[in-house]
């Protein structure tokens, strides 16, 4: 390969999961470019600091990337590694999503010390989640359960469960698996029961648009299939103004040369859930996502969004 970087600095959040993700990318780059020094710049973001309120009330998932982007802008870092579901849909100039890596398990995981699955929880049992997307699906399918907010990093959330503050919590399966905590997963929710967030399970690498050299150097880490799926998913979310304030899900899979995408928009209490799906050629991934979003919009998603954003 013509591009041989001499030194690369990766900006990352300081949480254990974020560090795992950055170290994973660091190891991949070190293997690609043995002569390159790949270092980490660890940072604490606003999203990590504000733990007493839900993300939808304090500015959304973008709180997890702003400080990392500042490090890119002022030259302290060359690239930033994110859980793709935390990357804002309106990511624009001067930043770009350079790489989407091979996706891990996209499902939500059911974690409990007493029960095997959501259906086993008795009436009034308390389920913790930080996501309106998860909350709306739990409330729609299990209206007898009590859903309460759950913030903090992975270890903090598990600690709250172990102290008895919750009967069960819902987390991303990929995060638990990456940290070697798969034994905490009692069961995984099917994508039919809990449709994942756009980009869930995938890692994204963000750089500045002014670094075509870096864009070229990072391409061996890209997964074309995951990228196509994620483009479709993010198109849904982008068209519908997806944010932490909106219970919205979009999940795509590829079967041969066909991409299948499913999406939904809901009220947080689960009383109204709109669903749509499309199938088509993989090369039309983004258009398929837009078509699904438009179908949801025509079915009344605009009214749901207006209700939520005016609250």
The catalytic site residues sit at 86
Calpha distance 154→218 (Å, rounded): 28
Alpha helix locations (H) across 9-127?
16-32, 46-49, 55-58, 66-73
Q: In whole angstroms, give the CA distance from residue 16 to residue 96.
A: 25
DSSP state of 84: G
Which are the contacts of 4, defined by CB distance < 8 A and separation ≥ 6? 33, 35, 36, 217
Structure tokens given for 32: 């690609």
Contact 206, 96 (CB under 8 A): yes
Q: Environment class of residue 89 by beta-carbon count within 10 Å: exposed (0-12), middle (13-18) or buried (19+)?
A: buried
Q: Which two tokens stand for residue 164?
A: 């008895």
């Amino acid at each position: 390969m013509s591009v041989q970087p001499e030194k690369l600095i990766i900006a990352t959040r300081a949480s254990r999961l974020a560090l795992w993700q950055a170290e994973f990318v660091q190891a991949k780059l070190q293997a690609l470019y043995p002569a390159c020094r790949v270092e980490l710049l660890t940072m604490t973001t606003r999203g990590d600091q504000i733990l007493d309120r839900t993300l939808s009330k304090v500015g959304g998932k973008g709180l997890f990337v702003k400080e990392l982007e500042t490090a890119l802008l002022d030259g302290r870092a060359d690239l930033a590694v994110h859980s793709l579901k935390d990357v804002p849909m309106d990511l624009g100039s001067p930043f770009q999503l350079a790489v989407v890596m091979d996706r891990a398990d996209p499902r939500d995981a059911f974690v409990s010390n007493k029960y095997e699955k959501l259906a086993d929880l008795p009436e009034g049992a308390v389920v913790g989640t930080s996501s309106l997307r998860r909350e709306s699906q739990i409330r729609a399918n299990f209206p007898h359960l009590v859903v309460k907010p759950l913030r903090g990093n992975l270890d903090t959330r598990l600690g709250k469960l172990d102290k008895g503050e919750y009967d069960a919590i819902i987390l991303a399966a990929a995060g638990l698996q990456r940290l070697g905590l798969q034994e905490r997963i009692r069961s995984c929710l099917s994508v039919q029961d809990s449709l994942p967030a756009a980009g869930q399970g995938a890692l994204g690498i963000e750089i500045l648009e002014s670094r075509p050299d870096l864009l070229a150097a990072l391409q061996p880490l890209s997964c074309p299939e995951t990228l196509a799926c994620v483009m479709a998913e993010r198109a849904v979310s982008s068209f519908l103004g997806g944010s932490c304030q909106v219970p919205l899900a979009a999940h795509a899979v590829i079967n041969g040369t066909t991409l299948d995408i499913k999406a939904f928009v809901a009220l947080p209490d689960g009383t109204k859930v709109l669903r749509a799906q499309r199938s088509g050629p993989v090369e039309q991934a983004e258009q398929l996502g837009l078509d699904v979003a438009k179908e949801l919009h025509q079915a009344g998603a605009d009214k749901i969004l207006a209700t939520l954003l005016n609250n």
